[in-house]
Amino acid sequence: MRCLARFSMGLGFRRLSVIDLRDGNQPMANENGTLWIVFNGEIYNYKTLRDQLKLKGHHFHTQSDTEVIVHLFEEYGKDCVHHLRGMFSFAIWDLKEQTLFAARDHFGIKPFYYFKDENNFLFASEIKSILAVQGVPRKLQYQSLFSYLTFQYVPQPDTMFEDIHKLGPAERLMVSSNGDMKIEKYWEPNFQPVERSLADYAEEIQWKLKESVNLHLQSDVSRGCFLSSGIDSTLIVVFYIPRILLDLFTIRQFT
């Protein structure tokens, strides 16, 4: 996805269809076409959020998780990110206010790169999409090269290119109608020690894993699991197999 903002706007998206294959195409708008979104990722609690927004008077035209984000932004503005559970990077163009709002998920699973000069703001989920725009300089960022050779990664917000940056995990970005850009952190991990028994911790971890796997299985396409024989993938498969058996039973029962 990429955007050209200030006096003109362009949004483009190449979709990997997972939820609502027929009507979930992007860019997607709200009911009156004043908000437009491009969204990379998946929102795992979108069905719960959808029901809550319907009670507040919002109307939906698709079954996609993308449309839920648009209505969340209508309801809560930039604080919509606090309601999302999932992996995401998205941008919303407000046609009335002529502003762009973008955000990246809490742990930075989905990437968000951007370039800004006096006249343009470009963003994409891959750097090569930004480099495809005529006039974007391709200058090596030498400090990033040193960082990569030292740490084997490039610390945010830098990239290997001098004028291209990446939005950090749990950061949101606002570009105003006059071209001013503001980035802020919307969440920080908080580790508070709690005195509990080992059995309580084990029970909660098991419940959290089961819940997480079930939420990740929401899909309108075939799904599977990679088993590497490690502890993490084995646990996921343990919670995944009952769903497979249930699906097979349901299919057999109704065919």
Integer Cα distance of 86 and 184 in angstroms: 19
Task: Tell me, yes or no, whether 78 lies in a domain.
Answer: yes
User: Using one digit for the tens of pLDDT, what is the confidence trace for 147-173?
Assistant: 999 999 999 999 999 999 999 999 999
**Residue 33 and residue 153 in one domain:** yes
Task: Tell me, yes or no, whether 101 lies in a domain.
Answer: yes
**Residue 214 and residue 164 in one domain:** no
Integer Cα distance of 200 and 127 in angstroms: 45
Domain that holds residue 208: 198-253
Q: Are 70 and 84 in contact (CB under 8 A)?
A: no
Integer Cα distance of 75 and 45 in angstroms: 17
User: Using one digit for the tens of pLDDT, what is the confidence trace for 15-25?
Assistant: 888 898 888 99
Provide the token pair at 9: 């706007």
Give the residue from 164, 185, 206 where a domain finishes: 185
Structural domain count of the chain: 2
- Range with lowest mean pLDDT among 66-75, 171-180, 183-192, 237-246: 237-246
Q: Which are the contacts of 97, defined by CB distance < 8 A and separation ≥ 6?
A: 177
**Residue 32 and residue 10 in one domain:** yes
Buried b (16+ CB within 10 A) or exposed e, 80-105: bbebbebbbbbbbbbeeeebbbbbbb
**Residue 206 and residue 87 in one domain:** no
**Residue 140 and residue 234 in one domain:** no
User: Using one digit for the tens of pLDDT, what is the confidence trace for 165-219?
Assistant: 999 999 999 999 888 999 999 999 988 888 899 999 999 988 998 899 888 888 8
pLDDT score for 245: 54
**Residue 34 and residue 93 in one domain:** yes
CATH number of the domain bearing residue 74: 3.60.20.10
